[in-house]
Homo-oligomer: A and B are copies of this chain.
């Protein structure tokens, strides 16, 4: 893998209750609850609305969870951190549909529900739903694939992937969150003080060196390009620094593709491997001033076993044989 776009067939998948087989001619999206006019749309209705196309990352809130364990697992970059992908999403801005339904002033949450076996659902703050959220119909030019929510998917940019409900069938306006199963048994963040945080929706600033990375082997001493990806649910990536000495010194990498809000960017920097052991790290800074934390700072405050929203610096140890493995530094 190189570049920033993930082909649809390689985009990560995570399902809570299987992939339903949906006939778009039988599928409807209903907007109801605290609205002036409950509305129902079929797939062809939605195709006639104005659309937008945006390149956006999507990350599972459990991505990189293995790095919260006490020992560094010897895995590839994809095995450790592969639950993040990028695509050009095309669809209808949700505010068009909500404006048409007429959201009542007392409404403050939207409960989005999918048409999968469990009716998987999440509560989305109305402010987020009105701002950047899209009714996604296309992914990298193609209609959505079944595994990615065909025919209709909610897409909430910058937020944990499970908020972007697949096979979307209803949006219910309420004056409170639904506290669904996904918001109580899952996706709440137990802190060290015993309090569980809910609705930690935004994914924080993060970066990864994808090459060299876990289980690769450098064939010989010499110059290599260190390259990786950075993204933030808090804004656009402003810069990425790379260290080859376990964080003692840092150098600014080049951002090789356009940065943009909620968009993954590839960074690159040349590095000479002298045959000595080296620890490679990257840390990203976003447009809101958030700097990616060290592993210990990322875990501080979290209760042991919390596996969500881990964004600590990924370290790769290159040994004298040129073998690369996951490392805690």
Contact = CB atoms under 8 A, between A and B. Distances in A.
A219 B42 CA distance: 14
A53 B266 contact: yes
The 10 A-B residue pairs with the shortest CB-CB distance, nearest first, are A2-B138, A3-B90, A3-B53, A53-B257, A2-B90, A5-B88, A3-B88, A3-B141, A5-B140, A1-B141
Interface string A253-285: 000111010000010101000000000000000
B49 A225 contact: yes
Interface stretch (A6-14, A25-33, A239-247): A6-14
A142 interface: yes
13 contacts: A1-B141, A2-B141, A3-B88, A4-B53, A4-B88, A5-B141, A7-B141, A10-B142, A51-B225, A51-B227, A52-B256, A53-B256, A55-B257
A7 B88 contact: no
Contact of A137 (B2, B48, B89, B266): B2
A42 to B, nearest CB: 11
Contacts of A8: 7
A41 interface: no
A223 interface: yes
Contacts of A140: 3, 5, 7, 140
A222 interface: yes
Interface residues of A, number: 39
Given A257-B54, A258-B258, A138 B49 contact: no
A105 interface: no
Interface in A199-236: 219, 222-225, 227
A157 B11 CA distance: 27
Oligomeric state, in number of copies? 2
Interface in A166-222: 219, 222
A95 to B, nearest CB: 15
A44 interface: yes
A50 interface: yes
Contacts of A55: 257
Contacts of A258: 258, 260
Contact of A2 (B49, B51, B219, B270): B51
A89 B257 CA distance: 10
A2 B52 CA distance: 10
A4 B2 CA distance: 19
Interface string A75-96: 0000000000000111000000
A223 B49 CA distance: 8
B4 A142 contact: no
A90 B142 CA distance: 21
Contacts of A225: 48-51
Interface string A114-145: 00000000000000000000000110111000
A116 to B, nearest CB: 24
A4 B138 CA distance: 11
A3 B5 CA distance: 13
Contact of A223 (B48, B54, B268): B48
